[in-house]
Structure 1
Amino acid sequence: MKDLNKLPDATLSKEIKRTDPIWRMMRIMRIVSIFLSLLFLSGIAYFLAGFFTGEKLFTILGSLFMLSLWLLQTVYQQISNERHWLRIGARRLDMLHNGISPQIQSARVPAPEAAPLPLVVSLDWNRKAIIITGITLLILLLLALVGYVLWRADGSDGYFFVVISGSLLFSIILVFLLGLAYQAYFLRQHIEIDEEGITTRYQRQEYRIRWQDARLFAQYSSNSYGGGQTFELSNEQVIVRWSKDATLGNYLLKAANNFADHNYYDTLIEQVNAQVAEHTHLPLLRLDIIKPATKKNQ
């Protein structure tokens, strides 16, 4: 029995990247990492061409050190995530070709509740939150502009403080919101279950699989550091995914459904999983929790 904790070889890695749609996202993230690296190198070139005396030298070296730590963390996280998805892909192919390994653990699935079909669960933009946020940013920007105009008119330190405070607060909130919006853009999803199968729109890609064609029902961490949980129903040709824990801290997203009187997304996803298990009669396998390969479980 092979050790499922090992990374796949080059040939298998190429096959995983060819068949798994998640690698489209991985390539986007790789481009982002390269862009950040180029931005960092440009910053180094700029500072090297600048001033190298006294306090300015200390400030430059301190800034470069902090940027270096941030860049190293970005690169490490990207490499770690790619290795995580390679391991998941290798375990999937091993399960599909060789059956369930003794190294694989199963997860509990709750009993399904009575629900009409088609069953629909979605996670999309929270328009009310976006409007309120936009109005708040506009007020902060206007506050900074008014303070600037008044400061230019009479030079008061009080108005100058308003300009600096408003501009700084606006910039911090804007950067924070851009990060949330970037995350939310790819976390949006739509799940629909009917008598024939399941269809999902996940990370801007739509896939469908019929119940009788499904061969693997699996769960695993959404990234290498354990944030969120991803689920999939798959065979050798199709991988249909959805996830939970995606809304934690992101108020720009809002859940909706057509069968429950609440919109607690994690609870809704548990019912999706229950419906999948009932229709496919497949166990939910944890592809990210692997027992070591020993003689006992070989």
Structure 2
Amino acid sequence: MTIHVFIDGAAGTTGIEIHDRLASRNEFELIVLGNAERKSETARRDALHTADIAILCLPDDAAREAVALAEGSDTRIIDASSAHRVADGWTYGFPELVGRDAVANAARVSNPGCYPTGFLALVAPLVRAGLLPADWPYTFNAVSGYSGGGKALIERFEASPEIAFRAYGLGMGHKHLPEMQKYAGLVHAPVFSPSVIPAMRGMVGDVPLPLQAMGAKSNPAELQGCLAAAYEDTPFITVHPLADAPTELLLERDAQPWDGLELWVFADTDASQVRLVARLDNLGKGASGAAVQSLNLMCGLPETAGLRLA
């Protein structure tokens, strides 16, 4: 049976990448609106009601409007905005953390943010296992390709090619913090330091842990072992052995799309300090790839179908 999918916001970066992952797949028939129809509330409502699954690639307010337009239909929704990530009635679209069945059976799925994907993949299993305290004031330092900053930041970066590094979110209170705190099970929201570089895609996130100062009862080998066990049954997440820790991590300026996620535990010689590090494609597992992974599960299809993991 053909599954009808409507990408609302298909002209944006995330929508374009989702379309690219679905266009050659015969399981799906994409409902496509012309330029004029995309601005028509009636055309969008019709598309939302016709679709089996709608994927919202919209700003937060527009995503809320789309959900309202879909009311009265049986259409299932994947929302790639941050509008519903901690909302009641929505399933967080991180199958490795919330469970594949939860996503597969959900009517409303909220796609994780790109930065939270790295943070949560590192921290959530360790807090759940009791290896890290829930009440520690964690920090998360992360750098992303400039596509991770949204349309306005993309425009600023492309208009200023001389800029090599741009720190943002300096006013604190970043919109990603609620999901980072909730799904990691933390008492306090982390201090979050996002930045972007002149590469379109790619992301590295770092959670520093002063284990000795924390009074933590775990050691680097236990942290790495817990992460490896948490993700042993997923092809999307690779937890590297301690012995394979590189001396540097790179982001390539012209990287190709990728839907995986790599995790490392770096430790000093006396194991008193650790850095948990994640590397991913902010447009892959951090956005479009995650949406397609959820779509596959919701449709009863192979989880990795149409995704790039090599």
Q: TM-score, normalised by structure 2?
A: 0.20
> Which structure is larger by alpha-carbon Rg, 1 or 2?
1
Q: TM-score, normalised by structure 1?
A: 0.20
Which structure shows the higher helix fraction?
Answer: 1
